Amino acid sequence: MKLKPLLSFLLLFVMQEMVAQSDCVIKIKYTGALSNIPFQVQKVSLPTTAYLEGYVRKENRLAYTAPIAIETALTVEAGHFTAATISGMSSHFCDTLPNVIRNVFKKTVNAYSVKFYGKREGEQIEKQIPIEKINFREAEFDGVKGLVIDLGVL
């Protein structure tokens, strides 16, 4: 007799539909040409996906990556820079890249703000790039699809 309620409970538990939301990440490479920057760039801070998705405001310290140094994921050569980063985990990044570009990278903000740092204390400049001047394109990094965000001439 006691087996019947236990069996009913187990059957009810097993038959419940399980719903889980997956989270994905994408590799991102920012590129651009450096112009009118009065010092040699050593580090760069880029907008985070938390900021681009609208989860944090521009004034929040989480709106930008920690400064990415030349020795790590930043390359500065012949007036151009390339900085690699990765998105935060979000179900938004599980979609196709054209949809990710439209629904994340172009949706919330009107301009991207990028901070450049020089060698000496106080050498810092922030550049605002209007969203319509930014070129987004799919690319492959180490066999994984990713996104290139070309900021143009800064």
Mean pLDDT per block of 10 residues along the chain (154 residues) reads 60 53 85 87 90 87 87 82 88 89 88 91 91 94 89 90
Cα 128 from Cα 112, distance rounded (Å) = 6
DSSP label at residue 70: T
Q: Is residue 5 part of a domain?
A: no
Written as one letter, the residue type at 50 is A
Most distant CA atoms of the chain, gap in Å: 84
Single out the residue of 65, 66, 83, 81 nearest to residue 27, CA to CA. Answer: 83
pLDDT of residue 117: 92
Q: Is residue 12 part of a domain?
A: no
Q: Is residue 6 part of a domain?
A: no
Single out the residue of 60, 78, 67 nearest to residue 119, CA to CA. Answer: 67
* Long-range contacts from 58-67, C-beta under 8 angstroms, 24+ separation: 58/113, 64/113, 64/115, 67/43, 67/115, 67/117
Q: Are 51 and 63 in contact (CB under 8 A)?
A: yes
Q: Is residue 50 part of a domain?
A: yes
Cα 78 from Cα 34, distance rounded (Å) = 9
Residue 75's domain spans which residues? 21-153
Number of domains observed in the structure of the chain: 1
Q: What is the pTM of this model?
A: 0.79
Q: Is residue 1 part of a domain?
A: no
Q: Is residue 36 part of a domain?
A: yes
Q: Is residue 4 part of a domain?
A: no
Q: Is residue 10 part of a domain?
A: no
Cα 76 from Cα 83, distance rounded (Å) = 9
